[in-house]
Amino acid sequence: MTIAIKYAASFVEDGHVGGHEAGATLVRRLMRVFPGAKLVGGRARHAEGFDVVPLEYLDPADTVVINMDVVDSIAVWRTLSASGSDPKVMNFVWWNTSQFTHEVQRAALALSCALFPTFANSERTATEIKEIVSALTVPTLAEKAQISWVNLGIRLEHVQPREEPTVPIVLYPAIYLSDRKQPQLFLDVVERVHRRTPINVEMRLHESHLISEKAMWLSRKDWAWVGPLTATREDYYHHLARTTAFLATAVEESYGLEYVEAMVAGAVGVFPDRPWARALLPQGYPFLYSDAAGAEALLYRAVTDTAACRAELDQLAGGDFVGWLRQRHDDDEFEKAIADKVHDWFGAV
């Protein structure tokens, strides 16, 4: 059985899957999990270690399509079923379901997840999918829905030893300045904290957001650095090893990979008191805020009394907060779980 990965935003650059955003990273991870996997694309060609194949060229009798563009799984099935075979399609929900606000989008998502086996990137996402399927499809479909999940996790071998900076570094823990991330709240809070104590702020953004008004505003501050994403994962983790704290401001997250990566690297995370944040953290996590004033107070403490904050987190987690995170967010578990589910749902791969 062959695996084919479908992600509409994927592109091949110098023979490799290009891009630093979460989707591209996940495509590369899936290719590691399933050696020999193909990438669904518009033009057939060979790349470094994999083939790019148009959807209609796939053999549905011998291919499992892992579809990261979940709402079009029915269209994928129709294309592949033209040969007379029964296509094998699996959904991979790796994003926040709240991005689909139109009733047509949500109904399409519900129907897709009711009809095809669905793997989610976290328990929270899986629960949301089950709720959507139950609410927007008929009971006979909802009852048969196959939905599984595991935390995405991070590659722990990338984590580098701490290098404490002279001036505390505060990270904007996202690559986009979309409304869901509430970047203005981040900017307001870090500016107020900077008035009280020296900090440096770092913001690494996708190129499409580098010239936004908010990015340009922050880049004019002599205590801030705004630039493109790091070229390699090694560089990315090198910067994280020097990060003192980050301020999360997102309204919703499906998982929160960037936050886990930063905390495992030793950064103190300040989070909004929202369900998505609590799902990542141990019960009683002390750095949750409910308003801008609370965010300012917690971030100020994180950059002025960092050692005490880390000690408090260690005590909360039974002696080792980073160890607690490592046990629950190891990508080895993700890789095993998704491979096992593909086997359970479709047989030998």
pLDDT digits (tens, 9 = 90+) for 196-221: 999 999 999 988 999 999 999 999 99
Mean pLDDT: which of 15-24, 122-131, 226-235 is highest? 122-131
Distance, in Å, from the CA atom of 228 to the CA atom of 175, rounded to the nearest integer, reads 9
Based on the number of CB atoms within 10 Å of its own CB, is 88 exposed (0-12), middle (13-18) or buried (19 or more)?
buried
Give dist(CA 345, CA 117) in Å, integer. 7
Distance CA(272)–CA(297), nearest Å, equals 13
**By CB neighbour count within 10 A (0-12 exposed, 13-18 middle, 19+ buried), where does 269 fall?**
buried
CB contact at 8 A, 192 and 215: no
Segment 213-240 shows an average pLDDT of 92
- For residues 60 and 86, the answer to whether their CB atoms sit within 8 Å is yes
Kindly report which listed range (139-148, 223-232, 295-304) carries the lowest average pLDDT score. 223-232
Distance separating alpha carbons of residues 342 and 117, to the nearest angstrom: 9
Domains and CATH numbers, the chain: 2-153+331-346 (3.40.50), 156-328 (3.40.50.2000)
User: Helix H segments across the chain?
Assistant: 22-33, 73-81, 103-115, 123-136, 139-142, 183-196, 213-219, 233-240, 257-264, 275-280, 292-304, 306-316, 321-328, 331-346
Interacting residues of 264 by C-beta distance below 8 A, sequence separation 6+: 154, 156, 159, 322, 325, 326, 329
Report pLDDT for 205: 94
pLDDT for res 234: 86
- CA dist 104 → 26, 107, 125, 136, 175 (Å): 27, 5, 19, 10, 28
Rounded-to-integer distance, Cα 344 and Cα 349, Å: 10
Task: Confirm if 317 and 282 have CB atoms less than 8 A apart.
Answer: yes
| Calpha distance 216→188 (Å, rounded) | 15
Residue 299, classified by CB atoms within 10 Å of its CB into exposed (0-12), middle (13-18) or buried (19+), is: buried
> Can you say how many angstroms the Cα of residue 16 is from the centroid of all Cα atoms in its chain?
20
Q: Any residues with CB less than 8 A from the CB of 35 and at least 6 apart, and which?
A: none
pLDDT tops 90 at residue 105: yes
- Report pLDDT for 348: 65
Is residue 349 over pLDDT 70? no
Q: What is the mean pLDDT of residues 157-171?
A: 94
Q: In a 10 Å sphere around its CB, with 0-12 CB exposed, 13-18 middle and 19+ buried, how is residue 65 labelled?
A: buried
- Cα angle 92, 345, 341 (rounded to 5 degrees) comes to 60
Mean pLDDT, the chain, integer: 94
Q: pLDDT at residue 231 above 80? A: no
Q: By mean pLDDT, which of 66-70, 99-103, 262-266 is the weakest?
A: 99-103
